[in-house]
Structure 1
């Protein structure tokens, strides 16, 4: 009985104790509600700081074209909810708890308890979020889709090609074969066939990834590595070749990858590049193309090799007829046409070139072509039949002018995917075009000639509209043609003086391209030399002081990684001087080159532009892009360049002073540019809009990239915008209404408009700002406007605006944006190919349901939040 009584007593005591603790704890919730809320609010502030830091990383990653990890976006959503709706709910409970009940006579214990309990739970949730938010990385890079697909017009499904194609596909599928070779003469279609293999491999999903690199006869290991890495989305952090190769090898071993190496001329050390070899579980499958079977067999140890021969007679005629049109078979030209087609030797590139030239030509042109093709060129051109050489040479001879011919020959020495802008510089320096006096006229003439050469199939499109390309065979024929009259010495690999031609050959030399030299002769005895391009990777390389003593006819000098010698002052006929990645000290000697028309100092180590540059009174173009150490341009230098038409400085120089504040020891002011009456192209960074002179006119500018504002806030990427001829970037830190009339002139003509950090406005471009703007606009990027609710205010003036040329719209960092236009009746038409909407927290009606804005959308990208 006593035991039972004792047990009951203990049980009662335990229950009473439990109930007491519970009541005590609940009572503490009521008493300590203010403290609970204060603790929660402090933790929310910490979470806000953490979230803002993550958002900075996210924004930086998005600007770099990277993708955000899903868990990061999920964490941000939870953090936004906690700092938004959850905080608001706690605030609501706090208001309720502060209200007394029973006619204001008694505290609201129930509300205080709910508030305290909620604050405690949410504080714990905040702690968990803070712990989860320690991200090492917030983003990953998308693997760019390789541009390896062959346009339908390029691959012809001939029977002979189809059989070889099937054989190569079988070899690619064979796990016991790791190196496959495809060989044949230049112009036979090796690359086209291999790209069709790549297309089929990707369609059948035989490999996880496919990468391709062009090797050429002068292989550059770093360039090959970069081509492969770009397709894999790999970014090298290592500087050494060995380190880069190791990184690439590790990446290639992670997947089953097909590596295509196009146009191999000699042994290539795959391990030096970083391409792993081994069994099917450790190495890549490698597909090679080469002109030489021995290179594939002996040097590259290809397990299976496939010859690509010329087209059969019927296939060649079918291809020729396809270009000419079926009508050729029913015309009087049929006998001549069949004979002409035979002269192409079954080589697709020759057929395409010749047929394109002869299409729609009268019979006498056909007869003359057949006559000349019946007497093949005597040129000794290794690996190509004389008749095939003659077809391309005949096309060259039929070019409509000497300007076309010289431009074609110049293109042949510029390599693959060459820059049109660099071609313009060279063409001006060599004086290829007559009857033109300005850079604009020369550019128009050059683009016309290039379009004619493309139409004749002697040139190809490049990777962008700012580049061009040339088939290897046509390039080789062009160099052979050039060597008959104006010899070109082209050496683009590491070499020494033993590789240079003899003195007699050098005396006749017109152009020299010499990259990777380890030493130079004391004197270059080339009295006829007009074009010299030299580059070295050795920082100790010096040009001898007497080097230019016998090259006084030189018109174009292009140096990469080499310092200027004092003997440059002897080059009185020099018209173009281009210095890239050069360590430059005092370059005052350049001022003695009185005939200089183009001066490019790009990505070079230069701190001050010497006052002697002002002596270059014939200068038409000054390019100082990428010179990050340039801090001083003395006053009075730029204003003396009275013939200057183009000035390119990007963000290299920002030390402009206000008008009237310059002195002998200070910098130039923008007012000096007012004296440049010929200026039509300008690329410049102005850190403060207030230093733009009131009477400064941008009206004459036809091409410009102008950035106004602080550069440190956002990494403005200048590279890709060059496809737009008129770009304006504004980082104002204030309302856009403060823009002066000079800047508004630029705004009216802009094709590419960036607006960043606009403060204090709800309508970004108010009706007073609109007028006749945006008629030429192709790309609009707006970001970081905390108060912005609308981009445009709908009104009678705005109703007349049509963004019919707009191709791309990006809106980012506009948390309170409601709609593009405010909701009044009207119609603003926007035709878009590309829309990107980044991280809009409140984005109710970007495409308003009212008739205020009518959007015609052609999506090229998927929308993001």
Structure 2
């Protein structure tokens, strides 16, 4: 009766369609559970495909896949919730599931189940994807990992400032290996990443082998070009160009070793029109010039100054280690000094010392660093030196490598004279056989320039170079580990006695220069030795047999041993000797045994003031002699000039004259003019008040002229036939005047248009440097605006009557240094606001004198106030 009543009520309130939601509830519920299970499986399979595409193939999931997965997730959650709620609704069913004790609620729930079932079915049907992910569009920039740095902020700001200039398209960053160029480029990349800009930033690393191909691959990947079956560089370049020409890009190109051909790689050249930029790093200055000839846009990264260097070292070694003992911090400062500001060295050695907590460990580290034996420290021989050695490996050939390693024979921080170094190389046979000495020297200077360009040597003015301490240590490591030549280098280490070694027989080059060795009393068995540097010691005695076992020796340097009065007769055993340097020794006579040196090509007797005797026919016996240097030699020049007539190969001479008559007699010798006379010193003149230097005007290769202690000399005459002579004094580079007390001016130096250095010292009567009155007498010089156009250094010392350098301001386009001391009457300098434009002029002087300087105008004063450096 109750059942009949319920059926009657259901039929009264609901139509047949609504009643079906109750009747089909259980079937739809089972169907929903089955479909949801299938949807979960489908979602799981799709997610697996997406993860593989994203994690392994580095693709980005498609938006439609992302949308399907999101909707599937929502459907599954909703369906699971309905299934969880279904039990109470099933319990309300009766009459075999056709009726409900709560019909309204059951119909509503049945509708939800039926709808969700259809949604799940539809979602499953839409879940068939052939592709789930695709390559994402590249971001405008990507961040690169970079450690906190010290001391690069200045360079970062400099590069960034350069990037803002529309006219600058290519920027070069150059410097020594390990100085921080790549780190700086990382910082530039990350500044792009952190800054709002419209560049597409591309990072690429070049390689020594196949640099263009490697860079093309990195560019193609960065701009989203897939390999389209490229067969050649040109095909890649075409595709790259077609993409980049439509973009404003910044190409960051790291570590190039030669000019990188942007066009061949497919990179459009940066212009103001496209606004693109190329920033590259290199160890070679010449590569910078080839890529970007405007050196204002090429930025050299220098080693860190002492304070910044210590900060970086402290970061790597740890402040806890430095506090382990009161003296460790002082020793750490010494370690930092040995690293000479090179970040790679500071980082590597800092890490190596981080675990060293005792004073003795630090003392040992200082010892090995000072002995250039740092390779024993952890990481140095295996990590730091190999990175630096790559610059050495990339030198053009063995000649360049030998010349580079040779520089490590000098002490740390030694300023090496270029000309002297090249003369050593000639003696060693490093350079090609040339028809004349000048060509060989030019080749030597070319090699020096190439080593400077490779950042393996540092330029110190025009005439000297220096080797960075860490590069020197690396060179000695190379010579010890890799090369056939074996170096024994104990230069500048305060030796007082002749050193000892286990295997003298293997040594090919030895340097004991810059020590305090007094006696050489033990024979060295060195059958392979080719080079021996003994200069700048306190040598007094060299035993007669010392040179007996050095048959291969080619270069012997005994210079600046002022107490060495006698050469051993055993020097005759050096039958292979080509280069003998006795400059600045106390030698009193040359032994006749020197005649045995049949191969001698270079003999330096400069500043041997005590040399009184040279055996007759000794100089003429050196039949292969090419260079003879005798400036300020105590032995008279005329006898030497007579013997020089027989030297067929003599090319270079430096010489001193002690009277005008000597100079006049010398001009009669043919050899005097056929030689390339490079240096002449006129010294101790007492026989003339005026000097005519017509003979010197004809010396086409004269570089340096010294007038010293010419007590009676009042005037150097300017003659008409000098001014008319083509090329007169054009080779002059340096003039030195010393203790010429009666000279009132030196106007004649204006005939040296290429003069670079002028030193005037202790000339008590000098009133002006250039006399306008005397210039006015020579029509060719009247109104000459090129006076001192090549001058770089002007030194004036102890000139009590000097009032003017020149009456008018001069441009001084090359001037770098003015040194004025004890010149109380010199109140005005020949400078105006246009002088020394573009040069970093430094003016050294006394503070009291500087306060009294009179300036042409206020703008000149403001321009040069920052140039002053007090003594």
TM band (smaller chain): 0.3 to 0.5
Q: TM-score, normalised by structure 2?
A: 0.47
Q: TM-score, normalised by structure 1?
A: 0.47
